[in-house]
Amino acid sequence: MLAAAAEQLFEHGLAGVTFEKVALRAGASKMTLYKWWPTPGSLAFEAYFHAVEETLAFADTGDIERDLSSQLHSFVALLTGAGGPVIAELIGAAQSDPALAEAFAANYTRPRRRLAVETLERAKVRGQVRLDVDSEVVVDQLWGACYHRLLLPDQPLEPPFVDALLANLLRGIRA
Amino acid sequence: MLAAAAEQLFEHGLAGVTFEKVALRAGASKMTLYKWWPTPGSLAFEAYFHAVEETLAFADTGDIERDLSSQLHSFVALLTGAGGPVIAELIGAAQSDPALAEAFAANYTRPRRRLAVETLERAKVRGQVRLDVDSEVVVDQLWGACYHRLLLPDQPLEPPFVDALLANLLRGIRA
């Protein structure tokens, strides 16, 4: 059912994810969907999370710069490919729909944020990131910066941007 | 007319900015509005830009950390006050409306980005920011990070966040 919901989402956008259409595509009963998901939005976001989970997995080579770099390059490839229009539509719609916003946060952005924070906390234990750095803030300065270029596309979202994000944050920008 | 459009925007959201309603409020003719703005969206965003221009002005004390800090604290105060719901609605609506997105970029986000980049370039000339840093990327890691917390509010947007953004970027996060 998650696979069917993800296919509907990528092909038809959020409007394509109704219990009726997903049930039809999955060959399941609508009742089953109602039982597991409170709203079509929560189904859509959980489906999106699972569809991109492998693509967005964090490597754990022991080198934080390398692991962040490979994950962020995958993330930007997703945003500049099939995932970009979908996620921009979701974030856009969430701004005027509190139930959708909560479903998106619970089923996609909070779990993804947690994975990123865990990666940064491991790097602290290994002595690669300063202990006084707030990992939550780093998430906004890496992934949030990418969302900014996706949603307000005044500058290009492309691979060199990822390298610049990491260089600025790891080295600092002071002369 | 810009003042009347801004009042409509803050009181009624984007739906309140029609040429008819703004003309009525400003005591102007609709024809004048049609002459100056191609769409109600472009009028709304130029009005928003002017309404917040003074609040979001960059000081130029010669100390980049201090100047960025005071501007970012004003920006976050705006986003957590009257401006937040308005700008979240605008960015949300822009995701499914290309004409609106272009009007927003041309009349608000590109001019604001330019002011931030100019401030950072001045700091390079003064030897406070490394010459090889891309100022455009810094914009995404400061203001973009704030937009991220506004649009995907999984973590609080509040004054200590601004201080952490600047500390991470100016010092770097490496142990």
CATH code at A166? 1.10.357.10
What is the C-alpha to C-alpha distance for residues A94 and A129, in angstroms, rounded to an integer? 34
- Both tokens of A2, joined, read 């998650």
Check: complex ipTM more than 0.90: yes
**Closest C-alpha to B119, from B30, B58, B53:** B58
Q: Does B124 touch chain A (CB under 8 A)?
A: yes
Same-domain status, A19 and A82: no
Same-domain status, B75 and B42: no
Tens digit of each residue's pLDDT (9 = 90 or more) over B100-157: 899 899 989 999 999 999 999 999 999 999 999 999 999 999 999 999 999 999 999 9
What is the C-alpha to C-alpha distance for residues B109 and B115, in angstroms, rounded to an integer? 10
B110 three-state secondary structure:
helix
Domain extent, residue A166, equals 54-175
Verify whether the Cβ–Cβ distance A147 to B151 is below 8 Å: yes
* All residues at 6 or more sequence positions from B148 whose CB lies less than 8 Å from its CB, including other chains: A140, A143, A144, A145, A147, A148
Q: Work out whether the CA dihedral A43, A44, A49, A52 comes out positive or negative.
A: positive
Alpha-carbon distance B138 to nearest alpha carbon in chain A (angstroms): 8
Give pLDDT, residue A49.
87
Neighbours of B51 (CB within 10 A): 21
Q: Does B125 touch chain A (CB under 8 A)?
A: no
A174 three-state secondary structure:
strand
Alpha-carbon distance B39 to nearest alpha carbon in chain A (angstroms): 19
Alpha-carbon distance B42 to nearest alpha carbon in chain A (angstroms): 15
Same-domain status, B1 and B63: no
Same-domain status, A97 and A150: yes
Same-domain status, B108 and B168: yes
Tens digit of each residue's pLDDT (9 = 90 or more) over B9-43: 999 988 899 999 999 999 999 999 999 999 998 89
Domain's final residue, options A31, A52, A73: A52
Same-domain status, B68 and B138: yes
What is the C-alpha to C-alpha distance for residues B175 and B94, in angstroms, rounded to an integer? 40
B113 to chain A: which residues are within 8 Å by CB? 154-155
Q: What is the CATH number of the domain that holds A19?
A: 1.10.10.60
- Both tokens of B161, joined, read 């966040």
Asked if residue B45 has pLDDT above 90, the reply is: no
Same-domain status, A41 and A59: no
Residues 62-101 of B with CB under 8 A from A: 88-89, 91-96, 101
Q: Does B3 touch chain A (CB under 8 A)?
A: no
Best of B95, B135, B136 to substitute, by most chain A Cβ atoms within 10 angstroms, is B95
Give pLDDT, residue A14.
87
| pLDDT tens across the length of chain A (175 residues) | 999 999 999 999 888 999 999 999 999 999 999 999 999 988 988 998 898 988 899 999 999 999 999 999 999 999 999 889 999 999 999 999 998 899 899 989 999 999 999 999 999 999 999 999 999 999 999 999 999 999 999 999 999 999 999 999 999 999 8
Give pLDDT, residue B18.
95
Q: What angle do CA A141, B127, B129 make, to 5 degrees?
A: 5
Same-domain status, A3 and A73: no
Tens digit of each residue's pLDDT (9 = 90 or more) over B72-100: 999 999 999 988 998 999 999 999 999 88
Q: Does B159 touch chain A (CB under 8 A)?
A: no
Number of domains in chain A: 2
Element (H, E) at B94: helix B83-94
Give pLDDT, residue B14.
87
- Both tokens of A5, joined, read 């919901």
Same-domain status, A120 and A40: no
Expressed in angstroms, the distance from the first to the final Cα of chain B is 53
- Both tokens of B143, joined, read 């203001």
Q: Does B102 touch chain A (CB under 8 A)?
A: no
Secondary structure of B88-122 as H, E, C letters: HHHHHHHCCCHHHHHHHHHHHHHHHHHHHHHHHHH
Verify whether the Cβ–Cβ distance B88 to A105 is below 8 Å: no
Q: Where are the alpha helices (DSSP H) in chain A?
A: 2-12, 19-26, 30-36, 40-53, 64-80, 83-94, 98-104, 110-125, 135-151, 159-171
Q: What is the dihedral of CA A10, A15, A19, A20, to 10 degrees?
A: -100
Same-domain status, B78 and B138: yes
B119 to chain A: which residues are within 8 Å by CB? none
What is the C-alpha to C-alpha distance for residues B170 and B25, in angstroms, rounded to an integer? 46
Same-domain status, B46 and B73: no
The size of the A-B interface in CB pairs under 8 A is: 164
Same-domain status, B166 and B91: yes
